[in-house]
Every structure is written in structure tokens, then in C-alpha cells.
Amino acid sequence: MRIVITGGAGFIGKKLARALLQRGELATAAGKEPIDSLVLFDVVHAEGLPEDRRLQTITGDITDAAEVRRLIGDEVGGVFHLAAIVSADAEQNFDLGMAVNLGGTRNVLEACRALPRPVRLVFASSVAVYGGEVPDVLDDGTILTPQTSYGMQKAASELLLNDYGRKGFVDGRALRLPTIVVRPGKPNKAASTFASSIIREPLAGQEAVCPVERDAAMYILSPRRVVEALLHAFELPAEAFGMARMLTLPGITASIGEMVDALREVAGENVVRRIRWEPDPVIQKIVAGWPARFDARRARAMGFQADASFTEIVRAHIEDELGGVIR
Amino acid sequence: MRIVITGGAGFIGKKLARALLQRGELATAAGKEPIDSLVLFDVVHAEGLPEDRRLQTITGDITDAAEVRRLIGDEVGGVFHLAAIVSADAEQNFDLGMAVNLGGTRNVLEACRALPRPVRLVFASSVAVYGGEVPDVLDDGTILTPQTSYGMQKAASELLLNDYGRKGFVDGRALRLPTIVVRPGKPNKAASTFASSIIREPLAGQEAVCPVERDAAMYILSPRRVVEALLHAFELPAEAFGMARMLTLPGITASIGEMVDALREVAGENVVRRIRWEPDPVIQKIVAGWPARFDARRARAMGFQADASFTEIVRAHIEDELGGVIR
């Protein structure tokens, strides 16, 4: 079976690709099927992946319907749709966000619909679908009034995916991802980027700036767990989702203080001292507006798992990204 | 000021047009403004309207972005977007529903965004946005898991409208309409069409078939009240909507039995005898799946009003459509 990952050059896409190659198979409605071919589609080539005859990287434009249709050809047996413009970018460049985040998803859905049989499609949505006046603890019954264009585009995409699923066009599943921490690599344009920086940079011997106070809380999932969740979502039977093919993944709620305490516990005070506290009222306000507490019992009942603790998240980062070595 | 009504040849569009011509003005952010020009846009010409130099009918295609852009030109001061493919049609013709109900709304939003200043836009959404596993009594905090393509297209359109509003592109307001009873004219393709037929046809001296049992309940608003609501929604200040520019209109919950009892009270047993009871399990099941009870306190607090009773709805129909005469 041929599997396509859109946004395959991103860090989640590449981690997912490694996991898929290692497993070598995926459960579909037809049972376990071997992965003969894995395509990473993105605007740039995916770098740094192992040599593997099953692996293919394709560069292209998710907003081009014909291109996406060629990408998701008749031999495709499953799709992970991760391609997106991040939130700050989608807010600044409205038309680009609409074209990539909503239009791109529509293109993927239409390409899947054209296949000879409905395939499984896992879509990376986001807790950014929530916003506005929401309760302190959210759940899968909480209404969506996103307050960013990114969140709106993800929410609208979920609605489409759910209806394409109901119509039997594609067997879609949408996962609302918490903030992913610790992201490897460099800071990006997201307002949440500091949450990874304050762990990643000190562990690599570099300074990091923390723009929010210790008591700010976030809803977090590690890269390891998000890859597990994507695979699990693909392999669940369609019936497990019932009438709503979207769900919020279980995460942990951690304050910045708790995150830093976990870093201290794992790496010591010397490492923590590399964090400079420079509260930025703008970022502070953005972060305070994010829902931090979710009751993800539906996803838990379906077998999705959060990290056990933030300490576990720090340890996993050191193992996966630093070869076990703290500077 | 120039006002555009899309779907202007439909029965709500025409009633709204009459009301606007009679009023002659509308409140906007700039205060009361006279209506110099009223454009009814639809696939067919709006018939049966009074001669009025302010009135203009234009036929065209809501799915054509350039055409919609020309329709909503710089001189336009407000838009009522009613154009849609009805639910049964959107379910059968998925691509048409997507193009008209979602694509058409996108075209209207984009045309408004291109205007020199943000204008008020009232969008006719529907309680069809609700579906799936919902509580017995719904409210504006109930999650949207539509179980029809029509409902999905309306829900996605609302998300877009809300974000275009948040971005300041257009001052949009989305009203979720209950089932409109008594619709004038002929039965249409909607599964709900019988709810109007069983009142309209007997009052006009004709037989009607009722395909559901007496205890089936529906959430209902009269044509008079929906026109009032559209006008009220236009004239409310933007602040009244807060962070969610969509709301469910107040309606009344009536069982089929109560509707028929009201018909008897107003028109007598002779008229009620023109109803033939022929339960149809398919329609019965569809109607049973519709949420019938809403707590519309938010809309009530904003000044929207339901009909006082189903008797009032029957009387209004006789006055407005039958010149006060029962056959």
C-alpha cells in the first residue's frame, strides 16, 4: 500500500515517516497491510531521512487541485494530511491561510473522494479551533468559536472532513493537536514557540528568553505522543468515531513554572539558569487566551494517550534529539 | 444606500424586499440611511413585486466570483445573503451544494471585503447546523456536528463569516433559521415541506397529506417573524454579537398535533378534515432526528422574537396570503 504524508518535510511529518518505515505496515479496514511506498509531499524536500527504497519525496503546491489529485493517485491506500500554514502566518496572510489550510484540505478531500475506494485520512487539526467564550475545562462538546483565521480554517476543514466521511467519500479522522512541546529545530513564527525554546535551547547549552510568567498554563503533547496518536487514529475502526470524526487529543496541562521545574529536575539548575525571564505583555496576553484545560475522556476511551508528565517530555527530547547528552 | 438581497426571488427574499421598500430606510453604523436602491439577485427574476423605481432584479450565478463582485459594487451599503440550495437538493447534489452554499457565501464575503468600508451582511443560516448527539434542549453553546451536507455548508459558512467579521472585512451576522411555517406557494423538495402543506392546502380548500404522526415536534418560525429577524439583525450594533456572530433565532416548539389543533381553532373541523394522515416511516425518521427544542435566550436578550403561538402563525398566513379568506 502507498501512504502519502502532506507537510511531510515538517518535523512531525518526518517523525511520522520514520515510525511508518520502522513499522512497515498499517491496519486498514481490510486488515494489516504492508507499506510498499511512502510519499512525503511538501513545498520543500524532506531532508535528513534514512535511505529507504520505499521512501519518496515530492515537492509541490497543496493549493493546486490537479497536483494533489496526481499525488493521491489510485494506488494510494492512506493519507496523513499535515500540511498547513502556521497560526501567526495565517493571521497575517489571510488569503494564503485560506488557500493552504482550507483550500488545501478541500483538495486532499476531493482527491481522496476520486479514489476507487474510500481510504483512511488522518487530518492534523488543532485546539486553536477553540476560542472566545468557553468554559474553564473544555471537552469534545464545547462549541467552536475560533478567534484566529488558522483556527477557523481548521474548524471549517473538520466540518468538511466529517461530511465527506458521512457521505462515504473518504474515511476521515481529525485530531485536534495540543501545543507540541518540545519541538526540535529552530523557533518558528508561532506565539507558542517559546514553550519549546525554553527547554530546547538551555539543554543545548544556549540561552532562551521566556516571555511569559511562571503561572501561565498550556495544553501540551510531546512529538513522540503526537506520532503515536496519528498512527492510532489511522488504525482505529471508523465506528470508533461515531457521528463526529473530530476529537481533541489528550494532553497535559502544565504551567511554565512546572515546565521549568521539570527541566531543573532532569538537567539541573545550571541549565535552568540559561532561561532569561523577560515578560512580554503581548505574548502573555495571547497565551492567557488559549484554553489550557481539556477533558479528553472521549479520546482516552478510544485509546489515545497523553504524556505521563512534563519530566517525561523533557527526557524524551533528550533521548530523541540530543542522543542522550545535555550540554 | 444600495441594498442587495441574494436569493431575492425566493419567498423570504420577496417578503424582505417588500418590508424594506415600505420602511425606506435601515440603520447602519452611520445611523439611519435611506434605501435608494434595492437589488434582488437570483437565478430567476423575482416576480409579483410592486412597481417601485428603487427596485431592480438581476439574474445571475452566485457561484461566479466575478459576477458577485460586480453585484456587490462600491455603492452597496448592506447585503442580505439568502441564496442557497435547499437541504434535500444539497444532499443529492453534493458538488452543487458546495458551490452554492459554501462557495457562494465565500463569494459574497470576498465581494464585501473588497468594498471601501465594511458593510453589514445578514446571512440566513439554519438550525440544520445541529445534528448528531446533541442534548434535548439546544442553545448557542451546543456543538455543531451537522448530519447533512446542507447543515455542514451552513456551519462552515458561519465560521468564515465570523472570521471575516473578526478581521474587520465585513460586519457579518448569521441567523440560524428554524423551519419556516407556513411557507406560501407550492411544496418544495425539503423533507419539512409537509409542515406548511398541512396548513396551507386545507385553508385553500385543498387536500394535504401528513406523513408524520401527531406527536412529532418541530422548531418553527413564521415568515413574518423571519423577515422581522433579518431586519433586526441588520440594525443591531456589531457589539451586540460579541465574539460569536451566529445565533439561533427564537422559535416555538410545536407538535404536529398542536399545529392541527391550532388550525381547527382558527378554521374549524371542516378544514382540518382535508388532512389525510399517511405516516411515511422515512419522513417520520428524518423529522424525529431534527432538534425541536432550543433555548434561544441569547437571541431573545438581543431583541429577537418568536411567534406567540401556532394559532398566531395560522392567522398571519390567512391575513398575508389569503386576503383574510378561508375556503
Q: What are the tens digits of pLDDT across the range B116-139? A: 999 999 999 999 999 988 899 999
Classify each residue of B29-68 as buried b or exposed e, where b means 16 or more C-beta atoms within 10 Å of its C-beta: eeeeeebebbbbbbeeebeebeeeebbebbeebbbebebb
Percent of chain A with pLDDT strictly greater than 70: 100
CB atoms within 10 A of CB B4: 27
pLDDT of residue A27: 97
Residue A310 burial (C-beta neighbours within 10 Å; 0-12, 13-18, 19+):
buried
Q: Which of A146, A155, A243 is nearest residue B147 as measured by Cβ atoms? A: A243
Please name which of A97, A106, A148, A102 lies closest in space to residue A127, comparing C-alpha atoms: A148
Q: Which residues of B touch A (CB under 8 A)?
A: 94, 131-133, 140-147, 149, 152, 155-156, 159-160, 162-163, 166-167, 242-244
Q: How confident is the model at residue A285 (pLDDT cuts 50, 70, 90)?
A: confident
pLDDT tens by residue, A146-188: 999 999 999 999 999 999 999 999 999 999 999 999 999 999 8
**How far is the alpha carbon of A243 from chain B, nearest alpha carbon, in Å?**
6
* Comma-separated ranges of CATH 3.40.50.720 domains in chain B: 2-178+223-248
Does A193-219+252-293+306-321 carry CATH code 3.90.25.10? Answer: yes
**Is residue B150 annotated as a catalytic residue, yes or no?**
yes
ipTM given for this complex: 0.95
Which CATH homologous superfamily contains domain B193-219+252-295+304-321?
UDP-galactose 4-epimerase, domain 1 (3.90.25.10)
Tell me the C-alpha distance between A3 and A75, whole Å.
9
- Pairing status of strand A55-59 against strand A37-42: parallel
* Comma-separated ranges of CATH 3.90.25.10 domains in chain A: 193-219+252-293+306-321
Instruction: Give residues with Cβ within 8 angstroms of B84, minimum separation 6.
Output: B7, B90, B100, B101, B104, B124, B150, B154
Please report how many Cα atoms fall inside a 13 Å half-sphere around the Cα of residue A115, on the Cβ side.
28
| pLDDT tens, N- to C-terminus, chain B (327 residues) | 999 999 999 999 999 999 999 999 999 999 999 999 999 999 999 999 999 999 999 999 999 999 999 999 999 999 999 999 998 899 999 999 999 999 999 999 999 999 999 999 999 999 999 998 889 999 988 999 999 999 999 999 999 999 999 999 999 999 999 999 999 999 987 889 999 999 999 999 999 999 999 999 999 999 999 999 999 999 999 999 989 999 999 999 999 999 999 999 999 999 999 999 999 998 898 888 888 999 999 999 999 999 999 999 999 999 999 999 988
Q: Which positions of A are annotated as active-site residues?
A: 150
Q: How far is CA B133 from CA A197, A236, B291, in A?
A: 41, 20, 10
Partners of B156 on chain A (C-beta within 8 Å) are 156, 159-160
pLDDT of residue B324: 94
Q: Which of A91, A110, A149, A159 to mutate to test the interface with B (most CBs of B within 10 A)?
A: A159
Contact A94 B152 (CB under 8 A): no
Partners of A142 on chain B (C-beta within 8 Å) are 141, 143
pLDDT of residue A149: 96
**How far is the alpha carbon of A98 from chain B, nearest alpha carbon, in Å?**
10
Please name which of B95, B87, B2 lies closest in space to residue B287, comparing C-alpha atoms: B87
Q: How confident is the model at residue A87 (pLDDT cuts 50, 70, 90)?
A: confident
Q: Which of A131, A144, A166 is nearest residue B147 as measured by Cβ atoms? A: A166
**How far is the alpha carbon of B109 from chain A, nearest alpha carbon, in Å?**
13
Which grid coordinates belong to B1? 444606500
What residues form DSSP beta bridges with A246? A174
Regarding the domain delimited by B2-178+223-248, which CATH topology (the fold level of the hierarchy) does it fall under?
Rossmann fold (3.40.50)
Partners of A103 on chain B (C-beta within 8 Å) are none
* Comma-separated ranges of CATH 3.40.50.720 domains in chain A: 2-177+222-248
Are A81 and A65 spatial neighbours (Cβ–Cβ below 8 Å)? no
Contact B152 A144 (CB under 8 A): no
* Comma-separated ranges of CATH 3.90.25.10 domains in chain B: 193-219+252-295+304-321
Tell me the C-alpha distance between B83 and B41, whole Å.
9
For chain A, the average pLDDT equals 96
Q: What is the pTM of this model?
A: 0.96
Which CATH homologous superfamily contains domain A2-177+222-248?
NAD(P)-binding Rossmann-like Domain (3.40.50.720)
Tell me the three state secondary structure of residue A173: strand
Tell me the C-alpha distance between B250 and B233, whole Å.
13
Which grid coordinates belong to A67? 497536483
Q: How far is CA A209 from CA A214, A221, B220, in A?
A: 13, 21, 57
**How far is the alpha carbon of A219 from chain B, nearest alpha carbon, in Å?**
21
